[in-house]
Amino acid sequence: ENAATLAVFDGHGTTADGHLVPLLANVGGAKDAAKAAALGAQGVGLFRTEFCFLERDTEPTVEEQAAAYKGVFDAFPGKKVVLRTLDAGADKPLPFLTDATEPNPALGVRGYRTDFTTPGVLERQLEAIATASRESEADVWVMAPMISTAAEASRFASMCDAAGIKTPGVMVEVPSAALTSASVLRHVGFASLGTNDLTQYAMAADRQLGPLAELNTPWQPAVLRLVQLTVAGSLEEGNGKPVGVCGEAAADPALAVVLVGLGVTTLSMTARSLAAVGTVLRTVTLEQAQELARLALSAPDALDAKAWVRAKLPVLEELG
């Protein structure tokens, strides 16, 4: 759709009582980033780098990669851009990285795990990111997808350090990482909850299968509990490391309020949802968001959680 026809988010993400929650965009490349900036994104919370190279049979050179990354960074001078390293897998193949014959792609060699089978690609990507970052004015953060253990987080942080990248983080989208978030976060500076995969894995329900859509919602009590545990782990770590959300959950204005109530520090979403999420967030105080989070957690199932929270947010009706 055309950015000109969409509502523009104006200002900064905040609750009614001034608790700031930066509203960021999910992007796949420079064109998306320009559109997100025009729609008022305060930065990028998820740059899906694999989208830059889906047409490629061979690994892009470090120079080609750096140019693609810089195209996104340059749309947000002085702003935060969270880049995710390649999240290829048999379901989202990059021929130079993935094995299309895997019987069970969601549980396969994907995301950070491709470093087990194709070493070198991640190092070269980090080199390209460091180069592009030096040549741009964006505040570049870098995270790895599909981190499952603290040891993986530690190794990723070392690789970032070796490349000269000072802001390593992890996606929390595998339940094991959510359940052990204190020890995972010990090694990195931030976490970003990928609620799409976190839901798929918590519910053992392939996110691509229509008949499982009712299971596959981040309103599931199990998913909300995993978000709560991840934030609790970060607080246990004691140094207030940021925990954002970059899955589709953040684009649902009612759920976004619940996530803020659960303690997440940023919300990243498709740019067209920024205005609605920003509008609804401004109608509640942090304490009210926390109350709504408790309400959602107390619901017996996803449908009730959603209905109960939505009933307490009359502004949703104005948004249509």
Three-class SS of residue 125? helix
Cβ proximity to ligand PEP: between 199 and 288 the closer is 199
Q: Where in 43-82 is the site for Mg ion (CB under 5 A)?
A: none
Minimum distance of Mg ion from residue 166's CB (angstroms): 24
Cβ proximity to Mg ion: between 130 and 184 the closer is 184
Minimum distance of ligand PEP from residue 173's CB (angstroms): 4
Site membership for Mg ion, residue 152 (CB under 5 A): no
Applying CB under 5 A, the span of 118-126, 195-203, 226-234, 286-294 interacting with Mg ion comes to 195-203
Concatenated DSSP letters of 174-230 = SHHHHHTHHHHHTTSSEEEE-HHHHHHHHHT--TT-GGGTTTS-TTSHHHHHHHHHH
Burial of 223 (0-12, 13-18, 19+ CB in 10 A): buried
Cβ proximity to Mg ion: between 32 and 197 the closer is 197
| Cα–Cα distance for residue pair 16/28, rounded to 1 Å | 32
Using CA atoms in the order 70, 71, 74, 79, what is the torsion angle rounded to 10 degrees?
-80
Q: Which does 105 bind (CB under 5 to 8 A by kind): Mg ion, ligand PEP, none?
A: none
Q: Which does 46 bind (CB under 5 to 8 A by kind): ligand PEP, Mg ion, none?
A: ligand PEP
In this structure, which amino acid lies at residue 5? T
Site membership for Mg ion, residue 197 (CB under 5 A): yes
* φ, ψ at 88 (rounded to 5°): -85, 155
Structure tokens at 124: 């070269």
Q: Is 246 a catalytic residue?
A: yes
Cβ proximity to ligand PEP: between 59 and 173 the closer is 173
Site membership for Mg ion, residue 89 (CB under 5 A): no
Catalytic residue among 72, 144, 202, 246: 246
Cβ proximity to Mg ion: between 122 and 309 the closer is 122
Minimum distance of ligand PEP from residue 193's CB (angstroms): 7
Structure tokens at 130: 């460091």
Site membership for Mg ion, residue 173 (CB under 5 A): yes
Structure tokens at 100: 């299309």
- Tally of CA atoms within 13 A in the half-sphere of 302 that contains its CB: 15
Minimum distance of ligand PEP from residue 318's CB (angstroms): 28
**Interacting residues toward ligand PEP by CB under 6 A:** 46, 48, 87, 173, 194-197, 246-247
**What are the residues whose beta carbons fall under 8 Å from the beta carbon of 169, sequence distance 6 or more?**
82, 141, 142, 143, 144, 188, 189, 190, 191, 192
Minimum distance of ligand PEP from residue 250's CB (angstroms): 9
Catalytic residues, by residue number, are 246
